[in-house]
Structure formats: structure tokens, C-alpha cells
Amino acid sequence: MTVLLFAGVAERVGARRLAVEVAPGDRVRDVRDRLVAAHPQLEPFLPTLRYALDEEYADEDTPVPAGATLALIPPVSGG
């Protein structure tokens, strides 16, 4: 699957897009946990991170189909 990273999350990882393997039965939290294991610098973002799966907001329990796109969205401020 493709994982899109935005704002501070992308800056911490040094990439805006990652490829991640998805196993049958995976949920958003499983993919997120694999990403944090590979990129521990993401851990500070976890309490406020939002997720979008194929351009629709999703929660940690949402099943992830093969070939999906998951976006990790940190809080942003603007004016």
C-alpha cells in the first residue's frame, strides 16, 4: 500500500510517500505500528495524528484493503 505523509510527519521521516506491506486483516493501527517501528521519530505525533484511507477519514480500527492509500495527517495551524 502507499502511505502519504504530510507536514511535520513528512519532515521527520524525510519522505512524502512510503510503500508498506499489508497483510490480510490489517487495520489502520497495524500499518501505523509498522511505520512507527521503522520510523520511531513518528511516535510524538501519535496522540494527535488523523488518518485518511482512500481520501476518507478513518479511525485506527478501519480495515485496510490491499492497494489502498493511507494518509497520515498531523494537526496543522493556519490563519
Instruction: Provide the CA 70 distance to its chain's centre, in angstroms.
Output: 6
Is this structure's pTM higher than 0.85? yes
pLDDT band, residue 75 (cuts 50/70/90): confident
Tell me if 41 is assigned to some domain. yes
**How many CA within 13 A on the CB side of residue 16?**
2
Tell me if 39 is assigned to some domain. yes
* Cβ(73)–Cβ(6) below 8 Å: yes
Tell me if 69 is assigned to some domain. no
pLDDT band, residue 78 (cuts 50/70/90): low
Paired residues of 52 in beta bridges: 57, 71
pLDDT band, residue 79 (cuts 50/70/90): low
Domain extent at residue 43: 27-56
Q: Using one digit for the tens of pLDDT, what is the confidence trace for 32-66?
A: 999 999 999 999 999 999 999 999 999 999 999 98
